[in-house]
Amino acid sequence: MTLPNHAQIVVIGGGIIGCSTAYHLAKDHKADVILLEQGQLTSGSTWHAAGLVGQLRSSASITRVLKYSVDLYKRLDEETGLATGWKMTGCLRLATNQDRWTEFRRLATTAGSFGMEMHLLSPQEVKAMWPLMRVDDLVGASWLPTDGQASPSDITQSLARGARMNGAKLVENIRVTGFEMDGERIVKVKTDQGDITCEKVVNCAGQWARQVGAMAGINVPLQPVKHQYIITEKIDGLSSDAPTIRDPDRRTYFKEEVGGLVMGGYEPNPQGWVTGDVPEDWQFRLFDDDFDHFEQHMVQAIKRIPALETVGVKQMINGPESFTPDGNFILGRAPECSNMFVGAGFNAFGIASGGGAGWVLAQWVIDGEAPLDLWTVDIRRFSNLHRDRDWVLDRTLEAYGKHYTIGFPHEEYTSGRPAIMSPLYDRLKRHGAVFGSKLGWERPNWFAPKGVEAIDIYSMGRQNWFDQVGKEHALIREKVGIFDQSSFAKYELTGKDALKALDYICANDVAKPVGRLTYTQLLNTRGGIECDLTVARLAEDKFYIVTGTGFRTHDFAWIRDHIGEGLDARLVDITEHFGTLSLMGPKARDVLARITETDVGNSAFPFGHVREITVAGATVRALRVTYVGELGWELHIPIAATGAVFDALMLAGADFGIEPVGYRALESLRLEKGYRAWGSDITPNDSPFEAGLGWAVKLRKNTEFLGRKASETIRATPLKKRFAGFTVIKDDVVLLGRETILRNGEAVGYLTSGGFGYTIGKPIGFGYVRHPDGVTDGFLTDETYELIVANERFPARIHLDPLYDPQNAKVKA
């Protein structure tokens, strides 16, 4: 085959992800696509993958992606004539302790919320399904009947044939050597057989994706880790349709294969491979068998299936798999390059994810934006911290080691910390801060009082910080406290066309006078919420933009990518230039008035305004805004002066009982006030109208903005889902999100976030109530509601208004 010198889209990598992406680009979008594979198809990590296919994840969108994979594998052989080896055997997950059982009960609720079938079984029922298994230590098991297994190489070859049948060109034994760039855009893919001009590039190079990305200045933070499993000889009495098994408390998994078992596991002491480049010739190659390292799995597996003690081992597979620092795979358009997309780092979920990942990635490549909420796997969730290969190695090995550990709520990673600290880190530590980490920043989650060890003790119920966070919560409601929010992402947009650019990007009206703030969403073309942030107008041609810590890369890229061509508007990330202290509570004005000469009275400094004030000799950007529902200011301080301003606030507030307060209290305060959190309550799947934020969309103004057309359509038709709050009558129920909402006994949605409201004394959850014929006020009110929490039903009340009103100190629970 003669190498074409032009293609609309070049896909790099012929594993399951690359072949799936090429297949969907060609079949669904009739794209002119060429796939380049440096060796032979499947020769990276696909060929030696174990082939287990599970579907349930904590994200509804990612679960949908995995369900799509199963649907595709079921029908692909009929379409292409090549078998995929798909067997819907179902999957048993075993629980040997009460914490794991609680986790499974919560997962069963999540499965129901996402429309998946999942059952909880007794040990006796497990034994009947898997007679060769020991069950005397089991509390029970979960059973997902639609999970299964497949042959990774067969699926990939079938996808490749499907891609060719729809016009895609697949070229093997060709190596990409670099890219010709025009600014931040790839214009040519250079290979050892010639150059290919193209419009877009999709990097599906597996464990080579990092170095392929680096050729275009792109960071793909993945780490190859050695992963071992064995294939046994035939085992007498093992059924060919035996369910796959995940035994997480013993860190092992099993699947039937040709009368024997495939068995592997996820050890707490994993072995990373290179932090540098993966050798180019590592195709169909494995590491030497390492029985010493694998012994820990063998011991546990024999305890579960005694027949393994005497059966022969046919083969050991010890190969590298690409893992990521948070255990989620990587999709999307790279922030450093306008036309390279990435699909890599699948954390041994590549076969389960492959069909669906290729489907959404192809759509993303064509449209330029994700087709649904894929934030948990979006490459823009990373930052410059993830360019540090040693940090990525340490965090990735920790994530690998947690693969089968119990998923306790609010659990924090411990490796690579502290990485980024605010100037107040040592001061807050002296106050007893228990830190969490967000995009590398150390942030106080809560403050341990004297005599209490400053650590988190994880549990499935209320955790050790519950009462202390209640005291911090009360401090903000009754007096005044300080939040260190220096980790906020902060940008400046300047230039004579800055307003014109923002007016198109923002859904709310930012064309306000200098000194005003605007809370706004940024919408995609479907009318879904891509960003949720605050814009302060500092001058006619200067805007200050503040958004959440974790969204720094994402929001910056979204704004930059949608600035109109030719406009004089320059976006700069100034996150590290400013520390941020949020002074909140009914006594906030009294404290601030003591340390600045600026009039901070309500008439001189109203809500929704920004002023430059002097505090402790520093010029501070003071934003009158709140995320807790009380009087307050965000004080954005030159980074070097942050400590001095903190000290001044603490001294001035001593008479009012001021104390530093953590993010756990912030969460409970915002729940009571009904403030939405991006990434959970509001996502690219949700419109402002569905979320109760339609007031922040400038449809009354005759201004074109991104998402306007979709917003007009959404507003003009009955809403099929609406955001609502819920309280549970039983006050010790722990809400986390994904609990099922029942209306008159029928499932109508699930919670998107949850927690406890200390002022109202009840658990609070937010979520969307859904109905295909529309959700009106009448549909929502005067009905009986329950929440399914960890597979139990609890009576609940629905709330369409905030539960706490600081103006009247009303509690509405």
How far is the C-alpha of 483 from the C-alpha of 665, rounded, in Å? 10
Q: Which of 175, 217, 190 is nearest to 36 (CA)?
A: 175
Contact present, 584 and 481 (Cβ < 8 Å): yes
Contact present, 102 and 90 (Cβ < 8 Å): no
| Orientation angle between helical segments 350-367 and 60-80, nearest 10 degrees | 100
- Report the run of H or E that residue 292 belongs to, with start and end: helix 291-304
How far is the C-alpha of 316 from the C-alpha of 358, rounded, in Å? 30
- Report the run of H or E that residue 225 belongs to, with start and end: strand 223-232
Cα 770 to Cα 509, 640, 718, 737: the distances in Å are: 29, 49, 11, 16
Name 472's Cβ contacts closer than 8 Å, sequence gap at least 6: 446, 447, 481, 659, 661, 662, 664, 665
How far is the C-alpha of 13 from the C-alpha of 452, rounded, in Å? 53
> Which amino acid, 326?
D
pLDDT mean by block of 10 residues, the chain; 813 residues: 87 96 98 95 68 79 91 92 87 97 95 92 97 97 90 90 97 96 96 96 96 97 94 94 95 93 95 89 84 96 96 91 94 97 90 92 97 96 96 97 95 97 98 98 97 96 97 98 98 98 98 98 98 98 98 98 97 98 98 97 97 97 96 98 98 98 98 97 98 97 96 97 97 96 97 97 98 95 94 96 76 54
How far is the C-alpha of 684 from the C-alpha of 737, rounded, in Å? 18
Count of CB atoms within 10 A of residue 363's CB? 17
How far is the C-alpha of 612 from the C-alpha of 603, rounded, in Å? 16
How far is the C-alpha of 33 from the C-alpha of 169, rounded, in Å? 6
What the block records as the tokens of 527 is 């009318």
In the block, tokens 């990612």 appear at 62
- Report the run of H or E that residue 544 belongs to, with start and end: strand 542-547
For residue 35, give the 3-state DSSP assignment: strand
Sort residue 455 into left (φ over 0), alpha (ψ -120 to 50) or beta.
beta
809 exposure class (CB count in 10 Å sphere: 0-12, 13-18, 19+): exposed
Write down the pLDDT at residue 5: 87
Count of CB atoms within 10 A of residue 316's CB? 17
Number of H helices, E strands in the chain: 18, 40
Contact present, 331 and 364 (Cβ < 8 Å): yes
Q: Which of 304, 262, 272 is nearest to 401 (CA)?
A: 272
Name 214's Cβ contacts closer than 8 Å, sequence gap at least 6: 220
> Which amino acid, 298?
M
Name 748's Cβ contacts closer than 8 Å, sequence gap at least 6: 741, 742, 769, 770, 771
Q: Which of 14, 370, 24 is nearest to 174 (CA)?
A: 14
What the block records as the tokens of 720 is 């099929």
> Which amino acid, 680?
S
- Total count of residues recorded for the chain: 813
How far is the C-alpha of 779 from the C-alpha of 775, rounded, in Å? 6
- Report the run of H or E that residue 502 belongs to, with start and end: helix 498-505
How far is the C-alpha of 252 from the C-alpha of 403, rounded, in Å? 10
How far is the C-alpha of 242 from the C-alpha of 253, rounded, in Å? 13
Mean pLDDT rounded to a whole number for the chain: 95
How far is the C-alpha of 242 from the C-alpha of 244, rounded, in Å? 7
Angle in degrees, CA 30, 528, 386, rounded to 5? 80
Angle in degrees, CA 514, 519, 521, rounded to 5? 125
How far is the C-alpha of 766 from the C-alpha of 745, rounded, in Å? 18
pLDDT tens digits along 115-154: 889 999 999 999 999 999 999 999 999 999 998 888 888 8
How far is the C-alpha of 449 from the C-alpha of 758, rounded, in Å? 18
Domains detected in the chain: 6-84+150-222+326-381 (3.50.50.60), 578-657 (3.30.1360.120)
> Helices in 81-182 by DSSP H: which ranges?
98-113, 123-129, 152-165
Q: Which of 359, 12, 343, 337 is nearest to 159 (CA)?
A: 359
In the block, tokens 């069909």 appear at 355
pTM of the model: 0.95
Render 559-595 in DSSP notation, one character per residue: HHHTSPTT---EEEE-GGGEEEEEEESTTHHHHHHHH
Sign of CA dihedral 570, 573, 577, 579: positive
Estimate the share of the chain in helix, then strand, then coil, as percent rounded to the nearest 5: 30, 30, 40
pLDDT tens digits along 354-369: 999 999 999 999 999 9
How far is the C-alpha of 122 from the C-alpha of 125, rounded, in Å? 5
Name 466's Cβ contacts closer than 8 Å, sequence gap at least 6: 756
Render 74-98 in DSSP notation, one character per residue: HHHHHHHS-----B---EEEEE-SH
Contact present, 486 and 424 (Cβ < 8 Å): yes
Cα 621 to Cα 576, 609, 636: the distances in Å are: 15, 10, 5
**What are the strands, taking DSSP E only, across 705-802?**
721-728, 740-743, 746-757, 762-770, 785-789, 792-799
| Orientation angle between helical segments 663-673 and 466-478, nearest 10 degrees | 60
How far is the C-alpha of 591 from the C-alpha of 754, rounded, in Å? 32
Write down the pLDDT at residue 183: 93
How far is the C-alpha of 527 from the C-alpha of 77, rounded, in Å? 37
